Amino acid sequence: MKALIAVLPGDGIGPEVTREGVRALQAVAQRNGHEFTLVEAPFGGAAIDASGDPLPQATLELCLKSDAILLGAIGGPKWSAPDAKVRPEAGLLRLRKELGVYANLRPVAVHPALRSSSTIRPEILVGVDLVFVRELTGGIYFGAKTRDATTATDLCSYSVMEVERVTRVAARLAQARRRKLTSIDKSNVLETSRLWREVVTRVMQAEFPDVAVEHALVDSAAMHLIRRPADFDVIVTENMFGDILTDEASMLAGSLGVSPSASLGDGKRGLYEPIHGSAPDIAGRGIANPVGTILSAALLLRHSLGLESEACEIEAAVYRALDAGLRTADIASADVDGGRSVSTSAAGDVILAELARA
């Protein structure tokens, strides 16, 4: 098949890990006779430096005509001064809005070889295989903000339509998995959460009676996520709760560096990025873990291009490489090869070699 893929390396370790994601996509295309056109464009802090705009018009136009977008990471101290007029994050929020990607999928599966890298006891991690579906374009991050000398406010608002559409994405995912959906809210306190719970209940009863639904309050869900993570299948929640809980859940997997994400809307086009940021503390050293980006490339193949078996090829290559002892600095531990770790590009080489062996 032919596909146009926009590549936005961004800032910090973004370009380092994106390079490995691109190589994985090119390798899969070559193996399977696909023609992927990968076009790079400036985004984030790098684009502010070049043109003053974190999302230049040409980058936006490229994304809008692409089948999928692979993003590295954006941001860094250079663009984070409190009085900064324009920030990289503004470009990301705008890009998500322009693409209409309202559902952020974050799978968390703890590969057995990485159980000892997590700060959670290994026996708690057996069987963990969950997916967060975070609402991405509504809620308090997008509401009106006010500020005077003594007070600040952020408005949190959700419409029925916004809750319905993200519920359907999560429910369809649950149907293809273990048919279990956990909806997380704070309905004992927040009016938006009461609406959320009502809408989720109605949509699931009317359209997805084959999926078991449970509702959980965000505070106790945060606790159960590390107490009994293997019990969860698909979790759906609003923007801010999802932002916080997905970072918590990523620690089950041992490192921010290994987790992928997909942001989807109504069509096939999606935005794919590792869940980590630009990691300024290690940028430029060639030691970042590219696994989160490479697994994001697999999600791109699955959700935007419909190439399920190619997605599985990449995932299997990553897992075989980890099984064989592949470790970057963030997941190296003394019990594997004396804690020795490889560079970003060497990790990419090992994964490509596994891909070639399949």
Q: Is 145 known to be catalytic?
A: no
For ligand NAD, give the closer residue by CB, 80 or 309.
80
Q: Which residue lies nearest ligand NAD, judged by its C-beta?
A: 277
Binding residue count for ligand NAD, defined by CB under 6 A: 23
Q: Which two tokens stand for residue 228?
A: 């009994």
Q: What's the gap between Cα 330 and its chain centre? A: 18
Q: How many CB atoms lie within 10 A of CB 60?
A: 19
Is residue 48 at the binding interface for ligand NAD, with CB under 6 A as the rule? Answer: no
Q: Is 272 known to be catalytic?
A: no
Q: Is 141 known to be catalytic?
A: yes
Minimum distance from CB of 117 to ligand NAD (Å)? 12
Q: Is 219 known to be catalytic?
A: yes
Q: Are 105 and 132 in contact (CB under 8 A)?
A: yes
Report angle CA 43, 140, 159 to the nearest 5 degrees. Answer: 105
- Which of the residues 129, 154, 231, 243 is marked catalytic? 243
256-275 positions binding ligand NAD, by CB under 6 A: 256-257, 273
**According to CB under 6 A, which one of 277, 296, 297, 315 is a site residue for ligand NAD?**
277
For ligand NAD, give the closer residue by CB, 89 or 164.
89
92-111 positions binding ligand NAD, by CB under 6 A: 92
Piece of 46-54, 73-81, 106-114, 301-309 that binds ligand NAD (CB under 6 A): 73-81
For ligand NAD, give the closer residue by CB, 87 or 302.
87
320-349 positions binding ligand NAD, by CB under 6 A: 330
Binding mask 280-299 for ligand NAD (x = CB under 6 A): xxx-----xx--x-------
For ligand NAD, give the closer residue by CB, 7 or 174.
7
Minimum distance from CB of 328 to ligand NAD (Å)? 6
Report angle CA 246, 251, 257 to the nearest 5 degrees. Answer: 90
How far is the C-alpha of 86 from the C-alpha of 80, rounded, in Å? 9
- Report how far apart, in Å, the C-alpha atoms of 309 and of each of 1, 28, 301 are: 14, 10, 9
- Report how far apart, in Å, the C-alpha atoms of 97 and of each of 57, 64, 92 are: 14, 11, 9
For ligand NAD, give the closer residue by CB, 169 or 253.
253
How far is the C-alpha of 294 from the C-alpha of 317, rounded, in Å? 10
User: Footprint of ligand NAD on this chain (CB under 6 A)?
Assistant: 13, 17, 73-76, 80, 89, 92, 256-257, 273, 276-282, 288-289, 292, 330
Q: Which residues are known to be catalytic?
A: 141, 186, 219, 243, 247
